[in-house]
Structure 1
């Protein structure tokens, strides 16, 4: 009887047991499934080296945001001098500001030069509507810089159909 149980575990005509055969077939099935998944991923582009390189390049561009061209600065001289009303003490105050616009395209700088009167008008109106207490803070000055950049870009878009001023910098800021 012991011999008959050994015969049941062996495949007829070979010396491989059923247990070994099941393990081998299972390994082959797993390998076929893994290869099939790899082929599908490769064909859809999710596993190609180019896709990985593109994703890495997109991530590095978002992180570093390296400018393509050097910054070009243009002075918005002469200085802007405006008066505005200080609400808390009901008195007139004066503000003198010198500004420079920064862009990376000479076409934008030429547009600033060409539309200088409209830009100066918008900036004078913006400056004259400021609050004295707000401008005393760093946050208030930063908000004013951003508002000035927006005003310049709005004038350029309205007049020339372009915009591209990236920043406005105060080179002098005097409140009295």
Structure 2
């Protein structure tokens, strides 16, 4: 009799478990489909907005590049130490930034501390062997330009600096 009661309990439990499994499985599939459709809708609209803003940004940047060139000198030279096979070398770099138009010149002067931070971070990570060659200096100049542009882009909303120029370079 106890065996019959146990069999009846097992039989009654199994169908409910299968029903729950089927319900959760179907619910999970529906949830995944909803998430996929939502993601597709959101990402699809962002791509269209990004392409439109990229075209507008390029037109604005091109208009800014046609203005008169202004050169903004950093107020202080950059002094930093670099290690060279256990020997410390002192490097001093004087920098000027080329911008287009009086508005960009004013904007650069407003953000000098931010620019100095980006340049010092770039310069202090340089390799002493690369700085010994003209190609290495040019590579550092291009890296400095990209870092300054990437630093200013979120703040100003556009590319302001056109060139980073080394007006003095001393390595001891």
Instruction: Tell me the TM-score range normalised by the shorter chain.
Output: 0.5 to 0.7
CA deviation after TM superposition for structure 1 residue 142, in Å:
0.5
Unaligned runs of 5+ in 2: 1-64
CA distance in 2, matches of 1:70, 1:105: 5
Q: Relative to 1, partners in 2 of residues 1:80 and 1:90: Cα closer, same or farther, differing over 3 Å?
A: same
Is 1:116 the counterpart of 2:112? The answer is yes
SS state at 1:166 partner: strand
1:144 — aligned with what? 140
Asked if the contact 1:103/1:165 (under 8 Å) is kept, the reply is yes
Is 1:91 the counterpart of 2:81? The answer is no
CA distance in 2, matches of 1:90, 1:146: 28
CA deviation after TM superposition for structure 1 residue 139, in Å:
0.6
More helix by share: 2
2:101 — aligned with what? 105
Asked if the contact 1:74/1:101 (under 8 Å) is kept, the reply is yes
2:162 — aligned with what? 166
Unaligned runs of 5+ in 1: 1-66
Larger Rg: 1
SS state at 2:165 partner: strand
CA deviation after TM superposition for structure 1 residue 68, in Å:
2.7
Asked if the contact 1:85/1:91 (under 8 Å) is kept, the reply is yes
Residue correspondence of structure 1 range 10-159 to structure 2 within 5 A: 68-86=66-84, 89-159=85-155
CA deviation after TM superposition for structure 1 residue 116, in Å:
1.1
CA distance in 2, matches of 1:160, 1:120: 16
> TM-score if structure 2 supplies the norm length?
0.59
CA distance in 1, matches of 2:155, 2:107: 9
Q: Encode CA deviations 1:4-24: one digit per residue, 9 max, x unaligned.
A: xxxxxxxxxxxxxxxxxxxxx
CA distance in 1, matches of 2:116, 2:74: 8
CA distance in 2, matches of 1:121, 1:157: 15
Asked if the contact 1:77/1:98 (under 8 Å) is kept, the reply is no
1:11 — aligned with what? none
CA distance in 2, matches of 1:161, 1:68: 18
CA distance in 2, matches of 1:115, 1:76: 11
